[in-house]
Amino acid sequence: MSIPDSYLTLAAPTEGLYKDKGSKFISCACPVRDLEEIKFHLELLKEQHPKARHICYAYRLGFSAEENRAQDDGEPAGSAGKPILNTILSHNLHFSLVAVVRYFGGTLLGVPGLIHAYKEASLDALSQAEIIEIEPEVQIQIQFAYAELNEVMKICKKMPIKIVRQEIDNLCKFELSFPIKVKNEVLALLEYYLQAPA
């Protein structure tokens, strides 16, 4: 699946809370880059809440349905992870994790009650989050003779190109970064110098 020109994600971690019949649902929403980060956040929650009955969560990493996951962690199937995932999807967030820690209050809530509680707890964390728009970047490497430096610099100034790394010598090597939405245009301008297109 192709990467969009821009996507929404969370600026920083936030927390939320929902209470029902003595049960406490503490939610945490945070931006994540990969599965390692998700694992790290979940381990942290387990350490912070050793007496919690359940830690249910959902995440959405990339841009395909295969990169979404929902986990009920012992709650009835579909009563926790799915409502959490639905809040992520309804906010159109990517690279985001929402986890809800449940402390059981002694009264069973039933499946409809649980769905409502996990949804409300997730929404509370997301309502306090700053949602930001990210423009994915493409990185490429180019190399060219020193005599061509002026020409390359002109292209870099004309387009929204960042020079990430540069080696200026008889043979110059540049690592460049730019928004994915101008990829075709930039590649066309730099085609002659391309070393390893992304």
Residues 150, 146: Cα–Cα separation, whole Å = 9
- Confidence at residue 197, expressed as pLDDT on a 0 to 100 scale: 41
DSSP 53-120: SEEEEEEE-SSSGGGEEEE-TTSSTTSSHHHHHHHHHHTTB-SEEEEEEEE--SS--HHHHHHHHHHH
> 7-133 has which CATH code?
3.30.230.30
Residue owning tokens 């986990």: 71
Tens of pLDDT along 39-91?
Answer: 999 999 999 999 998 999 999 998 888 899 999 999 999 999 999 999 999 99
Q: What percentage of the chain carries pLDDT values higher than 90? A: 83
Q: Are 93 and 50 in contact, with CB atoms under 8 Å apart?
A: no
* Domain 7-133 identical in fold to domain 137-196: no
Q: Are 45 and 55 in contact (CB under 8 A)?
A: yes
| Candidates 3.30.200, 3.30.70, 1.10.3720, 1.10.20; CATH matching 137-196 | 3.30.70
Q: What angle do helix axes 149-158 and 183-190 make, rounded to 10 degrees?
A: 170
The count of other CB atoms within 10 Å of the CB of residue 1 is 9
pLDDT digits (tens, 9 = 90+) for 48-57: 999 998 999 9
Kindly list the domain boundaries of the chain, sorted by start residue: 7-133, 137-196
Q: Choose among 143, 140, 151, 148: nearest CA to 187.
A: 140
Whether the CB-CB separation of 172 and 145 falls below 8 Å is answered with yes
Has residue 198 got a pLDDT over 50?
no
Identify the band that residue 194 occupies on the pLDDT scale cut at 50, 70 and 90: confident
- In the chain, count H helices and then E strands: 5, 11
